[in-house]
Amino acid sequence: MRGNLIGAILGFIIFIAVLVLVEIYGFKGIHVSLKNWTSIWRTVFYWLYWTMTVFTFALTIMAMLNFRAWRTEHPQWLMFAMAAFMVLWAPKVILGAFHLIDDLRYLVQWGVKAFSGTSGEGLEGKGISRATFLTRIGQVTAGLTFVSFLYGVTKGRFAFRVLNHKVAMKNLPSAFDGMKVVQISDAHLGSFFEQFEDVRKGIKMINDLNPDLILFTGDLVNIESSEAEPWIPVFKELRAKYGKYSILGNHDYADYGNLTEEQVLFSRTRLPEIHQEMGFDLLLNENRILNVKGEKVALIGVENWGKGFKQQGDLAKAMAGTEDVPSRILMSHDPTHWEEQVNSKEEIQLTLSGHTHGMQMGIEIPSIGLKLSPARFRYKRWGGLYTEGEQHLHVNRGFGFLGFPGRVGMWPEITLLELQSA
């Protein structure tokens, strides 16, 4: 206990130190940028800047110190604190980084001068001063970062997009060739604060695809089942020719809130009922045999199994009875399950996962093969379609959001998978 407390205190001190360092370098970049302003306008700007900075700084520290309580009792304040922090802090990181690089470059010049007896001016270059090069680039990059994060917390979190993939599956029966499967994942309904009309745009986009199947791969809520109650009529609007199926994610077990045992038990009992009321057939380590024109595909759903997370999934139990079915589709929330257990089972041709959210930020330009996200430092397979041998894994980047209340370049995803016979 004492070791955990000391670790938490040290972590908090390091966090504050990093914030202070970022503020110092961020303000240095802003100060240089305003050198041509009149003293009055500079004073006005500095007052506004430091008022917003101190307010955001204080709000962030309060949110950290009261995280558990705020997460259940004041989620709006928690999300506002995180949004304000990221919108204001991310540009400072960018701007400060350029000035840190500039200081390091200046330090190198000073070292050359001190140890070689030369002026070090040869390192400066010609025609471009520090102010007009690094500062200007830093300003532009920081400005773009500010606009991106501001868009992400206002419009970006509802900028639903449809991503299309054709998936060639071994042994796929001809009756399923061309079947349209829509996957959604990680709704995290507690983060939407009953913004029904914004979310209904995504629901309409799904229905407009005329899907044969709709598969939801977990994390309906953030903490407890009550978050999903107001959304039952909205998700009940989803339509699919051959049905809607779902599984649980790590957030669906009421493990993350400051809840009593009675509240946890109630949430775990109520959430499956909500899935049913929404029209989903919830698969809890079980399967359904889909029969189209006398031909069969097994749809398998496991409870959450993740490396470093709850491991409630039982793949063997879920697959029982599918031995004579030629083709199998697995729904498993966490893609690490595929890496740890599934990719050794060649009888599962397609696995659908979510969980990563693509870290809700990144840059993706498919036309040139650019695909970057902080998620890659945590997950080997974090977004999109992956094929190894005759097995496929698709990782959906999420319909909702959690933690950071927005999306930057990693927009909420609706996946259309068109099945094809290999």
| Residue type present at position 109 | Q
Q: Which residues contact 290 (CB under 8 A, 6 or more apart)?
A: 176, 213, 242, 296, 297, 298, 299
Domain boundary among 154, 182, 217: 154
CA-nearest of 92, 97, 98, 101 to 146 is 92
Same domain as 171, residue 85: no
Same domain as 215, residue 135: no
CA-nearest of 283, 297, 376 to 333 is 283
Output the six-digit token pair for 338.
Answer: 């595929």
Q: For a pLDDT cut of 70, what percent of the chain falls above it?
A: 94
Judge whether residue 126 has pLDDT over 60: no
Rounded average pLDDT over 356-383: 92
Q: Which residues contact 255 (CB under 8 A, 6 or more apart)?
A: 264, 310
pLDDT tens per residue, range 283-334 = 999 999 999 999 999 999 999 999 999 999 999 999 999 999 999 999 999 9
pLDDT tens per residue, range 182-239 = 999 999 999 998 899 999 999 999 999 999 999 999 999 999 999 999 999 999 999 9
| Residue type present at position 175 | A
Judge whether residue 273 has pLDDT over 50: yes
Same domain as 334, residue 319: yes
User: Cα 288 vs. chain centroid, distance in angstroms?
Assistant: 29
Judge whether residue 127 has pLDDT over 50: no
Under the banding of pLDDT at 50, 70 and 90, the label for residue 130 is: low
CA-nearest of 246, 243, 212, 170 to 416 is 212
Domain boundary among 154, 186, 212: 154
Judge whether residue 398 has pLDDT over 60: yes
Distance in angstroms (rounded) separating the CA atoms of residues 107 and 146: 29
CA-nearest of 147, 53, 89, 94 to 408 is 147
Same domain as 390, residue 309: yes
pLDDT tens per residue, range 298-310 = 999 999 999 999 9
Which pLDDT does position 129 carry in this prediction? 56
Domain that holds residue 77: 2-154
pLDDT tens per residue, range 83-119 = 888 998 898 888 888 877 777 777 777 777 777 766 5
Same domain as 230, residue 345: yes
Mean pLDDT over each residue of the chain, to the nearest integer: 89
The β-bridge relationship of strands 350-353 and 363-365 is: unpaired
Same domain as 178, residue 124: no
Same domain as 123, residue 169: no
Rounded average pLDDT over 246-251: 97
Judge whether residue 67 has pLDDT over 80: no
Same domain as 172, residue 104: no
Judge whether residue 163 has pLDDT over 70: yes
Domain boundary among 96, 127, 154: 154
Judge whether residue 361 has pLDDT over 80: yes
Distance in angstroms (rounded) separating the CA atoms of residues 149 and 156: 9
Q: Are 223 and 71 in contact (CB under 8 A)?
A: yes
Rounded average pLDDT over 18-28: 80
Same domain as 394, residue 259: yes
Same domain as 23, residue 68: yes
Same domain as 257, residue 143: no
Output the six-digit token pair for 177.
Answer: 């060739």
For the whole model, what pTM was predicted?
0.87
- CATH code for the domain in which residue 342 is found: 3.60.21.10
Under the banding of pLDDT at 50, 70 and 90, the label for residue 33 is: confident
Q: How many domains does the chain have?
A: 2
Under the banding of pLDDT at 50, 70 and 90, the label for residue 121 is: low
Same domain as 83, residue 110: yes
